[in-house]
Structure 1
Amino acid sequence: MATNDLNHNLVLLDILRSILVAVGDAEQIPEESHALFLERFDDMRSSLPVDPINSQYLGQDIMCQVIERYPQIAHLVPRDLLWYFGGACFNFLSDEELDMYEALEERRHEAEQNDEPFDWNQEKQLMAMPVSDDSTQH
């Protein structure tokens, strides 16, 4: 697990946490269970840089719980986090998203093999750009 990837996903976890806090502030869910869930979320977030392998499994569980417990914000969960934690989180990604992430991983692997820099976000944006087809233009 590259440090760059870890830092990117830690930032995404911080964003997701702020969304979860906002849901709690809006009193859309029982306060006590929400507080306990945020505590588990924070534990996972803080242990991720220290013990990434064990945190990966807890992260999978927590990401799935975010979507199941808070369906009103499921669309706000960063898709990169679902890919990063993997496992059961893949169930919440579409086939198109899974294909895109697999292609990104292949590009990253190629870049690493060739000692080339790789910017996950930039590559993701490039993949999202429409492919121009000059044969359709007259």
Structure 2
Amino acid sequence: MVNAHLNYHLALLAHLRGILQALGEAEQVADDTHALFLERYDELLSELPRDMENSLYLGQDLIRQIFHRYPQIAHLVPRDLLWFFGGDCLHFMPDEEIELYQQLDERRYAAAEAGEPFDWAQEKQLLALPEQSPKH
């Protein structure tokens, strides 16, 4: 279950990496440190599966830097990554969104304790439904 959760977020990180790569290729980056930033990003992608706990700080730092270095793509940063890394990343989330993610985590932990599968993306969609909609 933990692997599925980690793999989901690794896929989001890989998608974001592609956006960052395209940004550099389109020459929309003002400074020449973009290549170094991508190297650190790649370090995160390789280290996260091996040492998740220590990699969370690097992830927080890199996500925070994306908002400051590349504001033109800040809206493309998956919100799930902000919650996954936590810390300073939570400053980019409104309180209502933080509440949604807290509920998601509670559901994920309950499913893990019960030995049941948990689909993060599906549960997120269910929680985001308006109150009048039926939830399964």
Backbone CA RMSD of aligned residues: 1.4
In structure 2, what is the equivalent of residue 111 of structure 1? 111
TM-score (ref. length: structure 1)? 0.91
Q: Is the radius of gyration larger for structure 1 or structure 2?
A: 1
In structure 1, what is the equivalent of residue 62 of structure 2? 62
Task: Say how many residue pairs are matched.
Answer: 133
1:3-52 CA-to-partner distances (Å, cap 9, x unmatched) read 11110011000000000011111211135211110011001111111111
Displacement over 6 Å in runs of 4+: none
- The 8 Å contact of residues 48 and 55 in structure 1, kept in 2 or not, is answered as yes
**More relative contact order in 1 or in 2 (CA 8 Å, sep 6+)?**
2
Whole-angstrom distance in 2 between the partners of 1:113 and 1:44: 29
In structure 2, what is the equivalent of residue 5 of structure 1? 5
Q: Residue 130 of structure 2 aligns to a residue in which SS?
A: coil
Whole-angstrom distance in 2 between the partners of 1:25 and 1:67: 19
Please say if 1:123 is aligned against 2:123.
yes
Please say if 1:15 is aligned against 2:47.
no
Q: Residue 49 of structure 1 aligns to a residue in which SS?
A: coil
Whole-angstrom distance in 2 between the partners of 1:20 and 1:103: 30
Please say if 1:75 is aligned against 2:50.
no
Structure 2 gaps, min length 5: none
Q: Residue 132 of structure 2 aligns to a residue in which SS?
A: coil
**Letter aligned with residue 33 of structure 2:** S
Structure 1 gaps, min length 5: 134-138
Percent sequence identity over matched residues?
57
In structure 1, what is the equivalent of residue 52 of structure 2? 52
- The 8 Å contact of residues 24 and 31 in structure 1, kept in 2 or not, is answered as no
